[in-house]
């Protein structure tokens, strides 16, 4: 049983395959967190320490203060001065104080009212803890949904207003974890457009360290994923706690080290971009956050995250081979039309591509990025015979068809904006700021979402679309909505995301055979919320293979290769050979963005061979276990491999980094190889024993700035 309640001790114990999580009800009201770590049956009892200036209830002393002991959820204004998980305003003070009421353990999980949520399977179990605050008239339900096989526990909360008046939620952090130590490094992923997910690792310090987004998207700037690891942790050694948020909008991750050197981790919606008025009888579901623990290094934490994302987050269609696409963006930008793209499709089909993806520029007056967004019907100059006829010509070439959309945005120069200026986010009396010449549609307004549904339904009627690339190319400023009253304006960021998820759900049900790739100027929404909607994410607009080596290696800490859309593109051909660019791109799901009409027959033959080779091992990246041997943010080269769980196949990639002027020889230990097996290198046909591969494979890296190795081993 993954969840147990010890009645005598009033202790809840959650076990995953390799971890244990425990807390107890103390003083008949508080939830005292006692343990999260390596799986054990020996659990510590609560211990108390007297700390002056700590407020306590009558009949107790400072040692029983909520400011002192580790808790499961903390409430603003109720004696815990550390960053709080919840602030509820029923009387103008923001003070709330929930006390333990009851619990329930059940199979499966609860749905989250229109938010993405990890998929339960037959082994999923949930612990529900109910607390109540009779003063503010609310019930709080804390959820622990246990994915025991993949060592993940997810946390979310539901607030029910059972009183008679409105209550305002002013801060909401569904994941709170108190640890009675602070000798950790924090790993986070920061960046910017074209420079996403840079690895950062720094020791914790007293005070609060945070990563966040106030941009309305999870953002290029900070990814919601964070980890805490012991100072000595590396890929194979040390303790690591990993956290992530199943949400795509503004967020806050806080890590606080308090007066006693104890650490509190909080993950959720924060307070800057979130408030929510809960009327009498209403309920609010928070998004879900997840946590995992590894006692065997960062590599194991990564395995837990990858296994969880593949089994419980990605849509089942992501588990089948992803199509190898030829995307028109970097080849054509806005310069597309029917004749040109039918030629693209013909050549693409002959070269072995699965799909042509028509990127931006096909609709309205979209001849550049200053006009047309919002006008979701085909541009008749570019597609004179109509979209349906064009798509049938593409299909007649024997290739699938994908199309780009950016539903959440509008150009002021568009028919939609001229008809409905009130449908863009704006604050009364203030000029809305522009970004990429566009404004953000008010997805919190159900009329806007309904309109988009009706328009896309009309435009794509009877057309067999196999793939949508869903983009989002600006962040939100001056966030206000004409659709909501003044006292609910704080809800817009959150309601916006629910509108976006509703539209995604409509696309998924209206086009059940189509898959979705999500994108936000590359990796601006590289998060678990989007992964539930899309089979993969356009990792970055930066396709320079050197930069991509860094970006992909960092993304892989938290997200499996199945989620990374990686293209070979043209702009860097002077810097790197096609072979090098390909070997970087097969770090994830392969595609190409180049002008196939200008290509020599020789290059087309090379690409055809690359696609065929990729298809022989793509299951390893999509479904295999990932092992990082040398991360490029720590070493002067990059080396990693994938292994099938039964160790029957291995795929090793070694990439030379730019600027390395000396030849190097590396000995790479493929410890996932089975010592009892004999492997053959699929290209050279040379044989190796598993023991030899485990002991170390010698790889030479030359100093020509273009050295990349890809070795596929199969057990005989
Ligand atoms: C940003 C995306 O990241 C690109 O791949 C491309 O789709 C453009 N938008 C189109 O405007």
* C-beta 538 within 6 A of ligand 1: yes
Calculate how far, in angstroms, residue 471's C-alpha sits from the geometric centre of ligand 1: 7
Q: First-to-last CA distance in the chain?
A: 40
Calculate how far, in angstroms, residue 518's C-alpha sits from the geometric centre of ligand 1: 11
User: Which of 80, 151, 359, 541 does the annotation list as catalytic?
Assistant: 541
Under 8 Å between Cβ of 527 and 218: yes
121 carries an active-site annotation: no
* Average pLDDT, 10 consecutive residues per value, the chain (716 residues): 94 98 98 98 95 95 94 97 97 96 98 97 98 97 98 98 97 98 98 97 98 98 98 98 98 97 98 98 98 98 98 96 97 96 98 98 98 98 97 98 98 98 96 97 98 98 97 97 97 98 97 96 98 96 92 98 95 75 96 95 96 98 97 93 98 84 88 98 97 96 78 98
Tell me the whole-structure pTM to 2 decimals. Answer: 0.97
Counting from 1 in the atom list of ligand 1, the atom nearest the Cα of 359 is 7
Ligand 1 pocket mutation pick from 325, 334, 359 by most atoms within 8 angstroms of CB: 359
Under 8 Å between Cβ of 625 and 673: no
- For residue 546, what pLDDT is reported? 87
CA–CA dist 539, 245 (Å, integer)? 18
Count Cβ neighbours within 10 Å for each residue of 367-392 and write b for 16 or more, e otherwise: eebbbbbbbbbbbeebbeeebbebbe
- For residue 662, what pLDDT is reported? 77
471 carries an active-site annotation: yes
Q: What is the signed CA dihedral for 145, 147, 148, 152, rounded to 10 degrees?
A: -90
Calculate how far, in angstroms, residue 516's C-alpha sits from the geometric centre of ligand 1: 15
CA–CA dist 555, 530 (Å, integer)? 15
Size of the chain in residues: 716
Calculate how far, in angstroms, residue 26's C-alpha sits from the geometric centre of ligand 1: 54
CA–CA dist 355, 450 (Å, integer)? 30
Ligand 1 pocket mutation pick from 360, 372, 437 by most atoms within 8 angstroms of CB: 360
């Amino acid at each position: 049983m993954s969840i147990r309640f010890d009645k005598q001790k009033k202790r809840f114990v959650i076990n995953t395959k390799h971890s244990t999580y425990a807390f107890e009800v103390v003083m008949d009201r508080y939830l005292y967190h006692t343990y999260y770590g390596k799986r054990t049956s020996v659990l510590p009892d609560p211990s108390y320490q007297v700390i002056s200036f700590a407020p306590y209830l009558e009949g107790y002393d400072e040692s029983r203060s909520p400011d002192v002991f580790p808790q499961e959820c903390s409430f603003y204004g109720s004696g815990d001065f550390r960053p709080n998980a919840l602030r509820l305003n029923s009387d103008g003070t923001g003070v709330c104080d929930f006390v333990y009421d009851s619990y329930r353990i059940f199979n499966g999980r609860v749905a989250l009212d229109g938010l993405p949520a990890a998929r339960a399977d037959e082994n999923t179990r949930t612990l529900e803890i109910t607390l109540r605050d009779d003063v503010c008239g609310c019930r709080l339900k804390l959820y622990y949904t246990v994915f025991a096989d993949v060592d993940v526990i997810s946390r979310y909360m539901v607030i029910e207003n059972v009183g008679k008046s409105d209550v305002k939620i002013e801060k909401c952090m569904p994941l709170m974890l108190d640890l009675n130590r602070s000798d950790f490094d924090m790993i986070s992923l920061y960046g910017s457009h074209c420079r996403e997910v840079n690895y950062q690792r720094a020791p914790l310090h007293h005070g609060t360290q945070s990563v966040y987004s106030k941009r309305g998207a999870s953002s290029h700037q900070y990814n919601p994923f964070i980890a805490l690891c012991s100072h000595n942790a590396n890929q194979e050694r040390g303790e690591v706690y990993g956290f992530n948020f199943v949400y795509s909008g503004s967020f806050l991750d806080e890590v606080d080290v308090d007066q006693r050197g104890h650490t509190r981790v909080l993950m959720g919606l924060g307070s800057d971009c979130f408030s929510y008025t809960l009327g009498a009888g209403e309920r609010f579901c928070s998004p879900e956050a997840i946590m995992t623990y590894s006692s065997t290094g960062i590599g194991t934490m990564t395995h837990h995250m990858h296994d969880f994302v593949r089994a419980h987050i990605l849509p089942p269609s992501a588990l089948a081979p992803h199509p190898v696409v030829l995307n028109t963006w970097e080849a054509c930008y806005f310069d597309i039309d029917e004749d040109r793209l039918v030629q693209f499709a013909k050549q693409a089909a002959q070269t072995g591509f699965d799909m042509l993806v028509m990127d931006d520029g096909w609709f309205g007056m979209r001849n550049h990025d200053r006009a047309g967004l919002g006008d979701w019907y085909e541009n008749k100059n570019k597609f004179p015979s109509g979209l349906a006829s064009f798509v049938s010509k593409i299909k007649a070439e024997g290739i699938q068809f994908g199309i780009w959309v950016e539903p959440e945005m509008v150009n002021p120069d568009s028919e939609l904006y001229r008809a409905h200026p009130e449908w863009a986010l704006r604050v009364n009396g203030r000029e809305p700021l522009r970004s990429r010449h566009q404004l953000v549609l008010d997805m919190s307004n159900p009329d806007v979402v309904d309109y988009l549904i009706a328009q896309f339904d009309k435009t794509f009627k009877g057309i067999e679309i196999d793939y949508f690339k869903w983009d989002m190319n600006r962040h939100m400023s001056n966030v206000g909505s004409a659709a909501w009253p003044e006292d609910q304006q704080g809800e817009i960021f959150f309601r916006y995301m629910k509108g976006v998820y509703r539209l995604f759900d409509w696309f998924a049900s209206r086009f059940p055979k189509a898959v979705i790739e999500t994108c936000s100027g590359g990796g601006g929404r590289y998060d678990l919320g989007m992964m539930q909607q899309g089979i993969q994410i356009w990792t970055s607009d930066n396709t320079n293979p050197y930069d991509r080596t860094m970006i992909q290696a960092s993304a892989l800490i938290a997200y499996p290769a199945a989620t990374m859309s990686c293209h070979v593109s043209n702009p860097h051909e002077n810097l790197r050979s096609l072979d090098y660019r390909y070997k970087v791109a097969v770090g994830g799901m392969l595609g190409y963005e180049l002008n196939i009409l200008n290509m020599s027959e020789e290059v087309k033959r090379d690409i055809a061979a690359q696609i065929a080779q990729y298809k022989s091992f793509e299951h390893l990246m999509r479904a295999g276990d990932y092992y990082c041997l040398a991360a490029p943010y720590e070493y002067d080269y990059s080396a990693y491999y994938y292994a099938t769980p039964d160790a029957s196949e291995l795929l090793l990639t070694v990439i030379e980094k730019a600027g390395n002027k000396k030849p190097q020889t590396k000995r790479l230990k493929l410890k996932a190889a089975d010592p009892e097996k004999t492997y053959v290198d699929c290209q050279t046909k040379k044989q190796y024993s598993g023991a030899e591969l485990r002991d170390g494979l010698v790889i030479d890296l030359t100093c020509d700035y273009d050295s990349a190795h890809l070795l596929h081993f199969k057990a005989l």
